[in-house]
Amino acid sequence: MSPTSAHDSAERGRQVRMAARAGTLSSHTAGVAPGNLQGNLVVLPNAYADDFAAYCARNPAPCPVIGRTRPGDPGLPALGRDIDIRCDLPAYRVWRDGDLVAEPHDVLDLWRADSVGFVIGCSFSFEAALLDAGIPLRHIEQGVNVAMYVTDIETAPMGPFGGGMVVSMRPIRQRDLARVEEITARAAQAHGAPVHWGDPAAIGIKDIASPDFGDAVHITAEEVPVFWACGVTPQVALRQARIPLAITHKPGSMLVTDLPLDHVARAA
C-alpha cells in the first residue's frame, strides 16, 4: 500500500471518530469510511479480561480480536491516532448484571482504573471489496443498518462466557456466492467466510423479516440469504455472564480504525 493510500485511510478513520466524539455522528457506520477496518467494542473489568480473551480465542469467527487496551487506558495507538474508545463510537450500550440499562453517546463517566477494552473486527470492513467486485449490498443501497440475528449455533464457552452466535445477513445473488465466499474468506479480521447460506431455520432463525438487531431488508427471488459470524455475539455472552458492569457498542455503531483491510482482494 502506498504512503498516500495509508494516509487517506488514516484520515478517513480519524474524521469518523472525531464526528462520533463531537456527537455529529450518532447512527450506524455501514458504508462509512469504505475499506477501513471497523471494530465492535467490549469493555469489562480487568478481573474478567483473561477469560474473555480466551473466549474470543476459542471463537475466532465471531470474535476476532484486533485490539486490547491496558487496564485503565482508553487508547489503542496500534489501531489509530488519538483513539479514545470511551467516546469515539457513535453509540454505546451499558450492561449491569447482564441487563441492558442504557445506550449513551459516550461512556466517559463509566470508565474505571480497571477497565479493559477489546476491539473485535467487523464485517462492515469487507463490504468495500464486495462492492468493488460488483456485488450489490441491499443495506448499503437503502442506507440502513445490516440485519443481525441470534442463532442456535453455540459458541465454545470459557469461564462465565458462552451462548449462541449472532450472525449478520446480506442477500446475495446466486451467481455471486462463490465470489463472495472467496473475497470474504481472506478477511479473517472481519469474520472471514460465511458460516451459512440458505434456509434461516437451519440455524435457528424463525423470521428473517424480524432481525434481533439492525434493519430488515428485502430478499429477491434470485438472491440467497448469506450469514456471517458477527461481533455482537459477545453481547449475548454478557447476558449469560451477568458481570456487574460491561460496556459495548450499540449494534452497527462501530469504532472506525485508521487501518485499511488491505489483505482483502480488491476487484481488478
Concatenated DSSP letters of 169-188: EEEEEGGGHHHHHHHHHT-G
Mean pLDDT of 253-258: 96
For residue 264, pLDDT beyond 60: no
Q: Give the count of beta carbons closer than 10 Å to the beta carbon of residue 267.
A: 12
How do 147-154 and 115-121 pair as beta strands? unpaired
- The mean predicted confidence, pLDDT, of the chain is 94
199-203: list long-range contacts, CB under 8 Å, 24+ apart.
Answer: 200/149, 200/169, 200/225, 200/227, 203/151, 203/152, 203/153, 203/167, 203/227
Question: What's the pLDDT score for residue 194?
Answer: 98
Q: What angle, rounded to 10 degrees, do the helices at 46-58 and 233-241 form?
A: 130
Question: What's the pLDDT score for residue 226?
Answer: 98
186, β-bridge pairs:
none
Is 126-233 assigned to CATH 3.30.2040.10?
Answer: yes
CATH 3.30.2040.10 domain residues, the chain: 126-233
CA–CA dist 76, 37 (Å, integer): 14
For residue 142, pLDDT beyond 60: yes
For residue 237, pLDDT beyond 80: yes
Over residues 197-220, the pLDDT tens digits come to: 999 999 999 999 999 999 999 999
For residue 2, pLDDT beyond 80: no
For residue 8, pLDDT beyond 90: no
For residue 31, pLDDT beyond 90: no
- Point out the least confidently predicted range of 28-37, 158-167, 178-187, 245-254: 28-37
CATH 3.40.1640.10 domain residues, the chain: 3-124+241-260
- pLDDT band of 244, cuts 50, 70, 90: very high
Q: Which three cell numbers stand for residue 11?
A: 484520515
Say if residue 175 is exposed, middle or buried (CB neighbours under 10 Å; 0-12, 13-18, 19+).
exposed
Tally of CA atoms within 13 A in the half-sphere of 37 that contains its CB: 26
State the DSSP string of 200-234: GGGGT-S-TTS-SBS------TTEEEEEEE-TTHH
Mean pLDDT of 147-174: 98
Mean pLDDT of 104-119: 98
Question: What's the pLDDT score for residue 3?
Answer: 46
Class of domain 3-124+241-260: alpha beta
Mean pLDDT of 8-18: 92
